[in-house]
Amino acid sequence: MRAALQSEIGQDKLEVVDDMEAVGFGPGKVRIRIKATGLCHSDLSAMSGVLPQPAPFIPGHEGSGVITDVGDGVTSHKIGDRVLVCWLPPCGHCPSCNRGQGHLCLEAFGNVATPNFKRAASDIFGFAGTGTFSEEMVVPAACAIPIPDDLPFDIAALIGCGVTTGLGAAINTAKVEAGSAVAVIGCGGVGISVIQGAKVQGAAQIIAVDPVRSRREAALRFGATEAVSPEEFADAKNRITAGEGFDYVFEVVGKSATAQKAYEMTRRGGSVVIVGAGALDDNFQINMFSLFFDEKKILPSMYGGGDVLRSYERTIALWRAGRIDLENLITHRVSLAEINEALDQMRTGVALRTCIEL
């Protein structure tokens, strides 16, 4: 079957091959025919080495498809089920899951270090234990979340990572209060989802901050009340919050420099929400006086910061009710053969989300 392969970390292009094999099928596993997959910024970060990932590997962790085979002991799924891929499924019985923090469950994390593809007798890993830039994939049944018939595959794929991450940061982690002033640094697919989450929560002001003009324009269409470049951010803060700072600033880039900026732009007692996935060697520093005296809350948000299954359901309900727009989040569509164009669209910032149809 066909898949997009990266042989070594640091390469910026993928090779589309047609002799890949999905391996590991057996008890507790399901085989999925992937129908759609989104390109998330984390895929680029894994390719470049910012996020740890063994190679060679198949990127992609935001996908959806149809179950084509069910291993022994799997009673929750059947052939033909439409599913979205959850790259970090909660096990349901560990201490994190018991606390209602299924997004912090590490039970499935072992999948990351287990090769789930093979090509010419060599082991191939899948990004984050999945690898959705492939026509077929074998994963534990818990990674395949059944979806309703009215949810199209392209939108379902996005709910598997970017949309859940962004909406959850605003709704679960920050619990944005109605009437508040919010700023969002970084307005790709995840940042736009933060904006939509802040809007659902009733924020009065939502300021989008991004260097790319097309993203600023998109942010306004999705609910931002104003969109500024990074250079205009300080002025916007002074004008909108009378110099005090925003109630919430979301960092959706994954760099210490933007996290520092987010901290600076947050009012005393406000919340800095870290959504971007950054590098192991990029350290964020704050002096101890400010940490104590300004009482700004630093709230990291991983994969939506809450029970992912509950977050998926909520997202589907909001989408069905027309309260959030997921259709227009997909700005580009490509086939697997055009995957390198999709990577470039992501790097230059012209795409909010590129959907790869398989």
Residues engaged in binding Zn ion (CB under 5 A): 40, 42, 90-91, 94, 97, 105, 107, 161
Q: How far is the CB of 231 from Zn ion (least distance, A)?
A: 28
Q: How far is the CB of 356 from Zn ion (least distance, A)?
A: 14
Specify the DSSP class assigned to residue 261. H
φ/ψ of residue 218, rounded to 5? -65, -45
Q: List the structure tokens of 315.
A: 């997202």
Q: How far is the CB of 285 from Zn ion (least distance, A)?
A: 26
SS3 state at 322: coil
Nearer to Zn ion, 133 or 246 (CB): 133
Please provide the DSSP assignment of 92-121 as one string.
SSSHHHHTT-GGG--GGGGGGGS--EEETT
Q: How far is the CB of 107 from Zn ion (least distance, A)?
A: 5
Nearer to Zn ion, 95 or 322 (CB): 95
Q: How far is the CB of 91 from Zn ion (least distance, A)?
A: 3
Residues 6+ apart with CB under 8 A from 321: none
User: Cα dist. 1→5, 20, 22, 48 in Å?
Assistant: 12, 5, 8, 25
Q: How far is the CB of 43 from Zn ion (least distance, A)?
A: 7
Half-sphere exposure of 315 (CA within 13 A, CB side): 35
Nearer to Zn ion, 61 or 314 (CB): 61
Nearer to Zn ion, 59 or 270 (CB): 59
> Given CA atoms 81, 82, 85, 90 in this order, what sign does their dihedral have?
negative
Question: 75: burial class by Cβ within 10 Å (0-12, 13-18, 19+)?
Answer: exposed
Nearer to Zn ion, 90 or 188 (CB): 90
Q: Residue 31 belongs to what H/E stretch?
A: strand 29-38
Nearer to Zn ion, 96 or 256 (CB): 96
Amino acid code (one letter) for 218:
A
